Structure 1
Amino acid sequence: MIVFGVAGGSTSVKASVASNFINRLKKPVEKVSKQNHLYPSVMMAQAILESDFGRSTLSTEANNYFGIKGAYNGQSVTMSTGEYTEKGKHYMTAAQFKKYPSIEASIRDNAYLLRHGTLTDPNYYSQTWTTNAASASDAAMALATTYATDMDYGNKLNAMIVKYNLDKLDANNGDTTINGAGNINEQIEQSLKKELGTTSSQPAKTAQSDQPQVRSKITSVPERIIPRSVFESRRQQPSADNDYTLQLNLSLEKIIKSNAAAKKH
């Protein structure tokens, strides 16, 4: 749903224009994305693509940075927009677009749309959520079949993410579901590792092999003070766990053996 004049926007943008735009939207995009479990990089890429870095008529006159159609609190503007048929043929048409009181309102409404979907399908954009999309790239590609009629929409968003290093927004977002691929099992595993004091992804046995053996406070039991060999016949070979046996004097050994014999009778 790219508004006329944006789809064919200039291919070369001055660094100052791009950086100023990204810096201006950075905080609200990160904040709203985190609140709604969306990828900031994808949201920023959408704003860039849909508004031509805030230079499109729709963004300057209606604060609409995401090409969202309809009315916002009864406010709207009618503009020409480029669409595509199912066969990929491009055509022009007039459409009603939401008019927002501020950029922040446009950002919040975009997040609301992605999180709540359509009237008939509230999960229509669910593949863009950090809990479902393994990466920002996947979330962007999901928009190609839902948000826009342009089948190349996802590739264009990913091109923006790469060109302007928007993935840094995801790293700074602080959303624990991001980079965890939205995998609840992975989140649980990481939480357990934190509680157990290990961050290694290897099995616990392997991780412990390189560290001194430390007994758990829960499972520790007193070591045997008197070795088993004291109670065995001298003809028997000491068991393997007697490598650490204590040296007892003969008188004590005799007393123990005599007591053991007495019990048998």
Structure 2
Amino acid sequence: MYRHLKKYLIFIVGAFICSLFLVLAFTTDRKNDNSVNAKAEAAYNQTTTAFIGSIGETARQIGQDYNIYASVLIAQAILESNSGQSGLSQAPYYNFFGIKGTYNGNSVTMRTWEDDGTGKTYEIDQPFRSYGSLSDSLADYAALMTSSTYAGTWKSNTSSYADATQALTGTYATDSLYASRVERIIAYYGLTAYDQAPVTQTTGSTGSLVWNRYRGSYTDAETLSIDEAWASYKNYK
């Protein structure tokens, strides 16, 4: 009787120790996974923040010039180009908005996901517009948004950016959750700040910044260069 009880106790203790090791191992794995996920999210946020900084002021100016929400423009660029990391947004295509078709006769065919309108997705090869530069991509987006198809996205026809995102669903994108995806990006990164007009400052020069007459404020040289290209495009048209 004693021998059987002793074996039973040894079995119980052994099982407990094994369970403890399994719990510790599982907890450690979860901590490692969480750490990896946190680092990946931080890296993505940093990439996205840098991307916003590269197009934010140009988007602000486009929004003012074309009666559209800069916040929506930036959020769409983030979503459609994976913050400028997608193959379609890289050289030589520079398509930051996933716009299909051709641009000045140029296009590239890529695999893409579509939504049948009920939430069911499928893959298909589609031709996407190919641009020569970021400026051309931004300009073509602005031209597209001013067409009557997207009148529901205009500031003059809406009360907020949320109205504009709703108008994009089923027109700009087949994704039935497109509006909510764009809105989450706008809220997370505080993009409504770019819907405000730029602050006017006095002329001159200061530090490493240069006076940007297109914005009425100081910017870096790269931003001025983009604005000059944008202005040339508008004058050409």
Asked if 1:28 corresponds to 2:58, the answer is yes
Match of 1:17 in 2: 47
Kept in 1, the 8 Å contact 2:162–2:183? The answer is: yes
* 1:75, distance to aligned residue in structure 2 (A): 1.1
Match of 2:97 in 1: 66
Q: Which runs of 4+ in 1 moved over 6 A?
A: none
Match of 1:82 in 2: 113
* 1:33, distance to aligned residue in structure 2 (A): 1.7
Distance 1:106 1:41 in 2: 17
Kept in 2, the 8 Å contact 1:40–1:173? The answer is: no
Q: Which residue type is aligned with residue 156 of structure 1?
A: R
Match of 2:149 in 1: 124
Task: Return the TM-score normalized by structure 2.
Answer: 0.64
Distance 1:74 1:37 in 2: 28
Q: Which residue type is aligned with residue 15 of structure 1?
A: N
Kept in 2, the 8 Å contact 1:38–1:130? The answer is: yes
- What stretches of structure 2 of length at least 5 have no aligned partner? 1-39, 200-237
Pair 170,98 (structure 1): closer, same or farther in 2 beyond 3 Å: same
* 1:172, distance to aligned residue in structure 2 (A): 3.7
Match of 2:133 in 1: 102
Larger radius of gyration: 1
Match of 1:50 in 2: 80
* 1:78, distance to aligned residue in structure 2 (A): 0.6
Distance 1:19 1:165 in 2: 11
Match of 2:221 in 1: none
The counterpart of 1:151, out of the listed 176, 192, 199, is: 176
Q: Secondary structure at the match of 2:124?
A: strand
Q: Secondary structure at the match of 2:73?
A: helix
1:56-112 alpha-carbon deviations (Å, 9 max, x no partner): 000013100000011111111110010011332100000000111111111111111
Asked if 1:92 corresponds to 2:92, the answer is no
Distance 2:117 2:46 in 1: 38
Q: Which residue type is aligned with residue 93 of structure 1?
A: I
Kept in 1, the 8 Å contact 2:57–2:194? The answer is: no
Match of 1:171 in 2: 196
1:91-144 alpha-carbon deviations (Å, 9 max, x no partner): 00000001111111111111111111xxxxxx2210100000110111112111
Q: Which residue type is aligned with residue 158 of structure 2?
A: A
Q: Secondary structure at the match of 2:132?
A: coil
Q: Which residue type is aligned with residue 173 of structure 2?
A: A
Question: Percent of aligned pairs with the same residue?
Answer: 38
Distance 1:82 1:11 in 2: 23
Asked if 1:115 corresponds to 2:146, the answer is yes
Kept in 2, the 8 Å contact 1:84–1:150? The answer is: yes
Distance 2:123 2:44 in 1: 29
Report the number of matched residues: 159
Kept in 2, the 8 Å contact 1:34–1:173? The answer is: no
CA RMSD, Structure 1 to Structure 2 (Å): 1.6
Distance 2:57 2:195 in 1: 12
Match of 2:158 in 1: 133
Q: Secondary structure at the match of 1:58?
A: coil
